[in-house]
């Protein structure tokens, strides 16, 4: 089989390529759609177990090619967008972000939109975000008393919505609209379910709530923008950065575009932080030796009342390793897609025009050849002498290539600050609920309820 495009380059000389091995089972035309809708992660794992690092299955008439392993990931991620395009694969996100934003615009316009927030992620801003996150975390614990219990999924969902809304949307949003925002965000995120990969416009309750939430969020952002312009207020947040941004042709962003870009980045900064902070605490409590290491480090650094500054957080490495390990075992996004816009070669295999290609972090991170004893929770694998996340394209919780998550530094900082503030003040233990993953959504979090008991240190 010949093809004319090779990884990450302009079309090259034709090559004889292998056809991706086909996963067994499936039905005429719809292929493995039913199995995918019921258990998408199980389908991906079966594809790896039966076919190896390259597998192909069919969803609603479309071939999906799955590539697993650092070399396969690199081959895929090094392709230019003109060959493997994320836009077509993520059309499911258009109702969430909005028309004309990110995946519903030209490649050039999308890249401009995504990079407009770079000023909001620089050191000066990150320093102020650290203080905000610490303050919000302490406020959430203000009424806890000496001992009690909380449900982890709900607690971290609410807390990260407060921290993200304040850092992204400003104090006005946090002080006046945060409760409504928290409910709207749940409805918006609830519209991202596996079936949306197939059809994001089905007349189902989750999609109706999603569309209503998106409309209301646009109204709320427009209110903040209008008020700032009327009063001449200048904020230190993401919304201000977008208000001041312009495209290369000199045009400014509309309120609709600002809302969509903010939502796109909040998904990077919120959903990762919410579910991964929960998983990080859960896994620490399931592994007392690592819990003690994290507590000792945090309490040694902040025990005398030192503020949770940006510089101080650089010293919190045990907790950072715990977060990275939670992200490895429980990556929030279990599939990362591209669409082939022409016949091309990926990892020595032919991908035909119109087919999807896919990287699955949750399957890739289970490879013992890449992460020794991969199913074991081991934060020390990121320590000196091991650093297993440094191997190129092995650790893909934040994606890879030119579309690697822009908000990963903010998300990691947010989780470190939250856990540090909590561990410095309280001791924790699980209340005995079954620990399982909620596979019903595209964003994989722990399945509630996960009750955690707390006791104030020294009480």
Domains of the chain: 33-456 (1.10.630.10)
Residue with tokens 């025009």: 353
Q: pLDDT for 73-97, tens place per residue?
A: 999 999 998 999 888 778 888 999 8
Check: CB of residue 424 under 8 Å from CB of residue 299.
yes
Indicate the Cα dihedral angle 323, 329, 333, 337, nearest 10°.
Answer: 120
Q: Tokens in use for 138?
A: 């302490």
What residues contact 108, with CB distance under 8 A and at least 6 apart? none
How confident is the model at residue 406, as a pLDDT? 62
DSSP output for 280-341: HHHHHHHSHHHHHHHHHHHHHHHTT-----HHHHTT-HHHHHHHHHHHHHS-SBS-EEEEES
Q: Which residue in 104, 103, 105, 98 sits closest to 211, CA to CA?
A: 98
Q: Given this model, what pLDDT does residue 1 score?
A: 42
Cβ atoms of residues 252 and 245 within 8 Å: yes
Tokens of 421: 């503030």
pTM for the model stands at: 0.87
Please give the structure tokens belonging to residue 62.
């479309």
Bridge partner residues of 67 (DSSP):
54, 359
Low-confidence ranges of the chain (pLDDT < 70): 1-15, 177-178, 268-271, 403-407
Q: What is the DSSP letter of 433?
A: P
- Tens of pLDDT, residues 310-367: 999 999 999 999 999 999 999 988 989 899 999 999 999 999 999 999 999 999 999 9
pLDDT of residue 168: 77
Q: Tell me the helix, strand and coil percentages in the chain, rounded to 5.
A: 55, 10, 35
Residue pair 5/11 in contact by the 8 Å Cβ criterion: yes
Nearest CA to 269 out of 137, 441, 406 is that of 406
Contacts of 364 (CB under 8 A, 6+ apart): 68, 69, 73, 370, 394, 396
Please give the order of strands across the beta sheet that includes 336-340. Answer: 54-59, 62-67, 356-359, 336-340, 84-85
* Dist. CA 273–CA 386, nearest whole Å: 25
Torsion, Cα 142 145 151 155, to 10 degrees, reads 0
Contact 18, 348 (CB under 8 A): yes
Say whether the peptide bond before residue 449 is cis (omega within 30 degrees of 0).
yes
* pLDDT number for residue 20: 97
The bridge status of strand 426-430 relative to strand 451-456 is antiparallel
Mean pLDDT rounded to a whole number for the chain:
89
Alpha helix stretches (DSSP H) within 387-432: 408-425
């Amino acid at each position: 089989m010949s093809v004319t495009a090779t990884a990450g380059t302009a079309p090259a000389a034709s090559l004889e390529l292998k056809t991706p091995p086909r996963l067994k089972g499936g039905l005429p035309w719809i292929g493995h759609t039913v199995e995918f809708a019921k258990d998408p992660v199980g389908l991906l794992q079966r594809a790896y177990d039966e076919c190896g690092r390259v597998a192909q299955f069919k969803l609603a008439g479309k071939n999906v090619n799955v590539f697993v392993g650092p070399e396969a990931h690199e081959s895929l991620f090094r392709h230019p967008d003109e060959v493997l395009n994320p836009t077509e694969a993520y059309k499911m996100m258009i109702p969430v972000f909005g028309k004309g934003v990110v995946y519903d615009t030209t490649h050039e316009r999308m890249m401009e939109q995504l990079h407009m927030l770079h000023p909001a992620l620089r050191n000066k801003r990150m320093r102020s975000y650290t203080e905000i996150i610490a303050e919000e975390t302490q406020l959430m614990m203000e009424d806890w008393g000496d001992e009690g219990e909380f449900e982890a999924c709900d607690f971290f969902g609410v807390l990260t919505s407060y921290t993200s809304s304040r850092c992204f949307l400003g104090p006005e949003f946090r002080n006046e609209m945060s409760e409504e925002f928290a409910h709207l965000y749940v409805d918006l995120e609830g519209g991202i379910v596996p079936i949306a990969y197939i059809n994001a416009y089905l007349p189902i309750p989750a999609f109706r709530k999603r569309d209503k939430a998106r409309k209301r969020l646009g109204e709320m952002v427009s209110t903040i923008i209008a008020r700032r312009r009327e009063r001449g207020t200048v904020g230190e947040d993401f919304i201000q950065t977008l208000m001041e941004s312009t495209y290369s042709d000199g045009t400014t962003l509309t309120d609709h575009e600002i809302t969509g870009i903010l939502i796109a980045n909040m998904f990077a900064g919120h959903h990762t932080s919410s579910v991964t902070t929960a998983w990080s605490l859960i896994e620490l409590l399931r592994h007392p030796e690592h819990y003690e290491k994290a507590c000792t480090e945090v309490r040694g650094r902040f025990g005398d009342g030192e503020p949770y500054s940006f510089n101080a957080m650089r010293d919190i490495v045990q907790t950072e390793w715990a977060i990275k390990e939670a992200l490895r075992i429980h990556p929030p996004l279990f599939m990362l897609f591209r669409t082939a816009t022409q016949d091309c070669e990926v990892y020595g295999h032919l991908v035909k025009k119109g087919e999807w290609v896919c990287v699955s972090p949750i399957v890739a991170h289970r490879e013992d050849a890449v992460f020794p004893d991969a199913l074991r929770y081991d934060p020390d694998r990121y320590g000196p002498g091991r650093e297993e996340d440094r191997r190129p394209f092995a650790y893909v919780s934040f994606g890879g290539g030119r579309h690697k998550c822009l908000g990963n530094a903010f998300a990691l900082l947010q989780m470190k600050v939250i856990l540090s503030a909590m561990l410095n003040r309280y001791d924790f233990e699980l209340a005995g609920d079954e620990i399982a993953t909620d596979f019903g959504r595209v964003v994989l979090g722990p399945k509630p309820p996960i009750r955690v008991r707390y006791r104030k240190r020294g009480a």
